[in-house]
């Protein structure tokens, strides 16, 4: 009989979307006494939030307005839980910044280093592309200059080729 009662306690949800967010040291006691190690005493219950989103309650409804209202309510509950969760983490972040300011500074320095590395990689990527296009432009420029330097005409090639032949050395 006692094991049935304990399994019944295990089957009850730890929290619901209606449960307000309370800090562990809050003077207000929740309606249901919960052990301090349970997640629900600190954070809203994500299972209840997701359960409302995947609920089949409104699938069999024939009235579109009823379905729309139910879905809107589920989405609103989800957003409320998300706001509570965000508030919880912001409170924890504030506590951390007061208790260990050096940790916050270390995190900021780490984030700045990561950002610098990312930007340095981006700069190198752009420099590589810039060098490539400079080479392409240089190659195009050289190709346009070559025909201008070469004299035109049928004998021009022979004249240029013979100009490159060294003159015979005179014997003394």
Predicted confidence at residue 49, as pLDDT, reads: 61
Q: Which residue has the tokens 């730890």?
A: 14
Question: How far, in Å, are 15, 18, 30, 94 from residue 12 at the CA level?
Answer: 9, 15, 16, 33
- 88 vs 143, residue with greater confidence: 88
- The answer to whether the beta carbons of residues 22 and 30 sit under 8 Å apart is yes
Q: Which residue has the tokens 């190709």?
A: 143
Q: Which residues contact residue 20 at a Cβ distance below 8 angstroms, ignoring those fewer than 6 apart?
A: 84
Predicted confidence at residue 10, as pLDDT, reads: 38
CA end-to-end span of the chain:
131
Cα 91 from Cα 55, distance rounded (Å): 31
Predicted confidence at residue 43, as pLDDT, reads: 58
Instruction: Calculate mean pLDDT across residues 118-130.
Output: 98
Cα 79 from Cα 48, distance rounded (Å): 12
Predicted confidence at residue 143, as pLDDT, reads: 82
Residue 146, pLDDT > 60, answer yes
Of 50, 48, 51, 70, the residue nearest 61 (C-alpha): 70
- 94 vs 23, residue with greater confidence: 94
Question: How far, in Å, are 45, 47, 89 from residue 39 at the CA level?
Answer: 8, 12, 13
- DSSP-based three-state secondary structure for 166: coil
The reported pTM is 0.40
> Most confidently modeled of 44-48, 77-81, 150-154?
77-81
Q: Residue 97: count other Cβ atoms within 10 Å of its Cβ.
A: 13
Question: How large is the angle between the packed helices 101-149 and 64-99, nearest 10 degrees?
Answer: 100
Which tens digits make up the pLDDT trace of 78-117?
899 899 999 999 999 999 989 999 998 999 999 999 999 9
């Amino acid at each position: 009989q006692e094991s049935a009662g304990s399994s019944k306690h295990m089957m009850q949800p730890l929290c619901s979307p209606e449960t307000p967010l309370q800090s562990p040291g809050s003077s207000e006691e929740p309606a249901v006494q919960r052990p301090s190690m349970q997640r629900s005493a600190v954070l809203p219950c994500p299972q209840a939030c997701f359960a409302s989103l995947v609920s089949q309650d409104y699938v069999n409804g024939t009235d579109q307005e009823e379905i729309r209202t139910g879905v809107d309510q589920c989405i609103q509950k989800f957003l409320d839980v998300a706001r509570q969760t965000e508030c919880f983490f912001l409170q924890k972040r504030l506590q951390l910044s007061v208790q260990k300011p050096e940790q916050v500074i270390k995190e900021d320095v780490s984030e700045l280093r990561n950002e610098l590395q990312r930007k340095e990689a981006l700069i190198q990527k752009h420099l590589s592309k810039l060098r490539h296009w400079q080479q392409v432009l240089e190659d195009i420029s050289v190709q346009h200059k070559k025909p201008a330097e070469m004299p035109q005409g049928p004998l021009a090639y022979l004249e240029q080729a013979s100009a490159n032949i060294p003159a015979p050395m005179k014997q003394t």
